[in-house]
Amino acid sequence: METRSEDSQTLDVDRIQDLLDREAIRHIQIRYAWSLDNHNWEALKEIFLPDAVADYRGERFEGLEAIVAKCASSLEPADASQHLNGCHWAQIDGDKAIAGCYFIATKYIADVPGGDTFIVGGKYIDQMVRTPDGWRIAHRLLEQTFLDGNPEVETISQTRWATRQQDGG
């Protein structure tokens, strides 16, 4: 039976740091999905840099306030949403990283003729920066690969938001 030598038992600090960074980045991507579905817009401050940029389906949003406003206007009018992501990856280079994951985002509004859900599938590609407070997204690109479900759900959601804004709120 082979035994480990003392050399093989030493900790590989760089490898451990790489694993910790990958887990922290994955946590940011998961927290983003959780924040959206729970309408916890304050939590997005722990995900994006203040001057972050997000490119969502052909629209560009510059700065945390613009990103939060876009997320709120898209999701608050729905009865529910569910963002699932997986197949996380990251290429880390010091205090910067390119990372991503696949996602499926479902928006739900009850009793819409033609179906209650609208689904977007694709991947996020993130440029990330390590800050004193942890990893943050500097730029997020949403690459859509498919749409499914009832587009009327999206139309009703946008109409609800416009009505809410006209009513002052």
Q: What span, in angstroms and rounded, lies between the C-alpha atoms of 50 and 65?
A: 8
Its sign, for the CA torsion 111, 112, 114, 117, is: negative
Rg, the chain, Cα only: 19
User: For residue 3, is pLDDT > 90?
Assistant: no
Fold of the 12-161 domain = Nuclear Transport Factor 2; Chain: A, (3.10.450)
User: For residue 95, is pLDDT > 50?
Assistant: yes
pLDDT of residue 7: 53
User: For residue 87, is pLDDT > 90?
Assistant: yes
Burial class (CB in 10 A: 0-12, 13-18, 19+), 110: exposed
Provide the 10 A C-beta neighbour count for residue 167: 7
Q: What span, in angstroms and rounded, lies between the C-alpha atoms of 140 and 130?
A: 15
User: Would you list the DSSP string of 125-138?
Assistant: EEEEEEETTEEEEE
Q: Which pTM value belongs to this model? A: 0.89
Model confidence band, residue 11 (pLDDT cutoffs 50, 70, 90)? confident
Model confidence band, residue 129 (pLDDT cutoffs 50, 70, 90)? very high
Q: Which amino acid is at 69?
A: A
Parse the chain into domains and list their residue ranges. 12-161
Q: What is the mean pLDDT of the chain?
A: 93
